Structures are given as structure tokens and as C-alpha cells.
Amino acid sequence: MARKIVTSLGVLSLILVIAALYMVFEYVPTEADEGIVQRIFYFHVPCAWIAFMAFGLVAVAGIFYLWLGGQIWDDLGHGAAETGMLFCTLMLISGSLWARPMWGTWWTWDSRLTSTFILWLLYGGYLMLRVMIDDSRQVARFAAVIGIVAALDVPVIILSVRLWRTIHPAVLVTRQGGHGLEDPRMVATLLVSLAAITVTFAWLFLVRFAELRMGTRLEALARGIALAEVRTGDI
């Protein structure tokens, strides 16, 4: 059953990605001010949405781990952080590639860019912690705390275009409160891209999560076998 769901998600992801690419390169009209480079936006925004959602999932998993203490919550947080990190990196790279022709620079220490970069560093630290410490229980506790604290940066990033002076465009909801996508084809393209990236994330996350669960069970089994070997040796 689980294998069927994962396979279906993989196929659906492929179909949606092809549809989204067709819409981005063929269907959607070119934006008047920014030109062709504005089409980066249709995958940049979904990558951001997924990164924030994944890091929210890490925080929820962290809370449940500290509360209930099951290894499943740690595996859930680990899988979400890893997949979220991929999309957070893609968000930063795609943003930088958009900024170069638009702002004339690859990077600027703008409030939204800086807060996003801080989020990327926090989750980089979260994943490095898992590699550096051997004690799995201690790692799970530290990771849960870091995951919860790091997720506090997500609302800061979202609100940064309203709270501080920033050059980052507010496209979905403009600073005046309206929405920035006037053409319905732009909205449709964004929605299909959003669905494509969301399903791709769900697919990658589920596969990775299943793998982490399997790894945890194998570790327990290996410990049991080692114990049995010691006992057999004693007899």
C-alpha cells in the first residue's frame, strides 16, 4: 500500500513537472517590466513555500519528539529537514540567478535574503549535528531543539517585506495589500508549479522517511543480533 502511494506520487510528480515546465516556457505571457527572467519566479516561489513547510514539519516533529519521545518523530524531522534543505538551497540559488539581471548583483544583504540565509545556515547546522555526534538519543534531543528554534525564523522571513525596508519584490501580496499577478495565466502557471513542487517534495520526503525508518529498524535488529551472538558465545 505504502509502496503504491510512493510510486503514484512519483508518477504524478513527473506529470505535473512536465505540465509546469510547458506552462512556464510556452503558455504564460512574458512580464512587461522584468522580461523573460520573471519566469524564474514560477519555481522560486514554490521552492520557498516547500522549504518553509518542511521546516515547519521539522519543528512539529521536534515538539512531538520532546513530548512523546518516539524515534519516529526524530526520523520525521530528519527527513523533512533534509528535503527542506534541498528546496531552501534551490530557493536561494534561483533567487540569486533572478537578482543578477534584475538588481545587477548576485546577492545583497537585504532583510528577506539575510533572514533566509540564516534559516539555511540553521538547517545546515541541524544536518551537520546529525553527522558529527554518534549518540543517537542525544542527537535527536539537540536536533529537536534546533528544529523548533530555527522554525521561528520562518515568520520573520515572511513578514520581513512588511516589517523592514527591503528591495525584495512582494509579488503574491503587494505592500499595498493587492495581489501582484494580474494575468490569470500567470496565476494558473504558479498554481500548477506549486502543485508540481509540492508533490515532488511529498514523494522525496516519503521515500527518505521510509528509508530512515528502515535504517532505525535495522540498527535495532543489528543490536539484537549482536546481543544474541554474545549470549551464544557465552553458552
Partner 1 sequence: MEHFGYLFATYSIIFVAIFLYVVFIWQRQSRLESEVRALEAKLKALAEPKHESAAAEPGAKPSP
- Which residues lie near partner 1 (CB under 8 A)? 21, 24, 35-37, 39-40, 43-44, 47, 83, 86, 89-90, 93-94, 97-98, 100-101, 200, 204, 207-208, 211, 214-215, 218, 221-222, 225, 228-229, 232
Q: How far is the CB of 44 from partner 1 (least distance, A)?
A: 8
Q: Supply the DSSP string of 137-206, one letter for each residue.
A: HHHHHHHHHHHHHHHTHHHHHHHHHHHS---S---SS-TTSS-S--SHHHHHHHHHHHHHHHHHHHHHHH
At 31, phi and psi to the nearest 5?
Answer: -70, 140
Query: What's the grid cell of residue 64?
Result: 512531538
Q: How far is the CB of 130 from partner 1 (least distance, A)?
A: 14
- Of the candidates 206, 148, 172, the one whose C-alpha atom is nearest the C-alpha of residue 46 is 172
Nearer to partner 1 (CB atom), residue 36 or residue 128 = 36
Q: How far is the CB of 182 from partner 1 (least distance, A)?
A: 21
At 141, phi and psi to the nearest 5?
Answer: -65, -50
Query: What's the grid cell of residue 29?
Result: 505571457
**∠ CA 125-130-133 to the nearest 5 degrees?**
110
Helix and strand numbers (H, E) in the chain are: 7, 0
Query: What's the grid cell of residue 25?
Result: 516556457
Nearer to partner 1 (CB atom), residue 44 or residue 148 = 44
Nearer to partner 1 (CB atom), residue 40 or residue 186 = 40
Nearer to partner 1 (CB atom), residue 44 or residue 112 = 44
Tell me which residue has cell 520532546: 66
Say how far apart CA 57 and CA 63 lie, in whole Å.
10
Q: How far is the CB of 67 from partner 1 (least distance, A)?
A: 29
Nearer to partner 1 (CB atom), residue 141 or residue 169 = 169
Q: How far is the CB of 159 from partner 1 (least distance, A)?
A: 26
Nearer to partner 1 (CB atom), residue 40 or residue 148 = 40
Q: How far is the CB of 190 from partner 1 (least distance, A)?
A: 15
